[in-house]
Amino acid sequence: AVSEVADVLTPKSTSRAEFLEEAASGAFEGCIAAYRTFGSFQVTGKIDAELLETLPRSLGFICHNGAGYDQVDVQACTARGIRVSNTPTAVDDATADTAIFLLLGALRNLAVGMTALRAGEWRGLVPPALGHDPQGKVLGILGMGGIGRNMAKKALAFGMKIRYHNRTRLEPSVEKELEAEHVGFEELLAESDVLSLNLPLNHNTRHLISRQEFAKMKKGIVIVNTARGAIIDEAALVEALESGQVSSAGLDVYEQEPHVHPGLLSNPRVLLIPHMGTWTVETETKMEEWAISNVRMAIEEGQLRSIVPDQRDM
Ligand SMILES: O=CC(=O)O
């Protein structure tokens, strides 16, 4: 435990305003490393220049418990000499499992049936349209990191054809093992029966999928998102679902969590879960252990086990 090697302080604030005041009052004086949960975003909001300004100069490390670290302004941290870590790989299995669940559920129109059943209408007054089998369908994976590759492996077992787009191409041996074909972004949009987003949110990927992109997709495509809501322009997704351009979607993440676009909530063709991609005993334990190992290393060795990619040369 961290308490073996350092004194542990726990913030008491319940809102951003309180946190800024607590920090400015010197409550964290002398702190070297901060451990941060994904959920703490609901209290503090984004860790940005304004928030960093209130933290003591002694703070050299922010250890985020999560793979995606879009809630931390890494540039602002770099400017203050603060190094940031995340928890890559720990999330891969659970997130890919969630993506496969959403993929199958969305392909099969399961949300329509599930909603009708709970409303006491069995399959509904109008039964759900027949679903589709994954076998032989093209799965387009946008972002082929740890989660994307894990998902590809699992989707192969369902007989899907894997295409992917990524900034850097996989090693040929990995492409071969995953039977994954690298294609351009436009090709991925045009050829996928199911499109899964498995890439981080940053200023390059915000609203990467919007009206123009939906227009280039196959009519009736299924969208799966376990990455970050804001990679998709949510309003454009609602329109694409309404027009039938997108036949169904399986979503774990939303643009303004915990707010969900009413057009998604009211559309039974959307299978929705409230950001539970890593919500398992095993994976949450792995992530916490990983994040805490970063804290320990920061305190004991002055470095991080998994510094975020944007700071690799720091
Ligand atoms: O959303 C969860 C994560 O980024 O690990």
Q: Enumerate residue ranges in the chain where pLDDT < 70.
A: none
Question: So what's the pLDDT on residue 140?
Answer: 99
Q: Which atom of ligand 1 sits closest to the CA of residue 228? A: 1
CA 111 – CA 255 distance, rounded (Å)? 21
Please tell me the pTM assigned to this model: 0.96
- With beta carbons less than 8 A apart as the criterion, state whether 260 and 272 touch: yes
Residues 151, 100 contacting (CB under 8 angstroms): yes
The finding on whether 278 has its CB within 6 A of some atom of ligand 1 is yes
What does the pLDDT read at residue 283? 98
Prediction ipTM score:
0.94
CB of 98 sitting under 6 A from ligand 1: no
Q: How far is the CA of 287 from the centre of ligand 1 (A)?
A: 10
| CA dist., res. 102 & res. 220, Å (int) | 16
Q: Indicate if ligand 1 lies below 6 Å from the C-beta of 66.
A: yes
Query: Residue 75 C-alpha to ligand 1 middle, in angstroms?
Result: 20
User: 84: part of which helix (H) or strand (E)?
Assistant: strand 83-85
Catalytic positions? 228, 257, 275
> Does the C-beta of 248 come closer than 6 Å to ligand 1?
no
Of 89, 91, 280, the residue with max ligand 1 atoms within 8 A of its CB, to mutate for a pocket test, comes to 91
Does ligand 1 come within 6 angstroms of the Cβ of 91?
yes
Nearest CA to ligand 1 atom 2: 66
Q: How many A from CA of 202 to the centre of ligand 1?
A: 14
Distance set, CA 141 to CA 12, 38, 105, 253 (Å): 41, 25, 17, 16
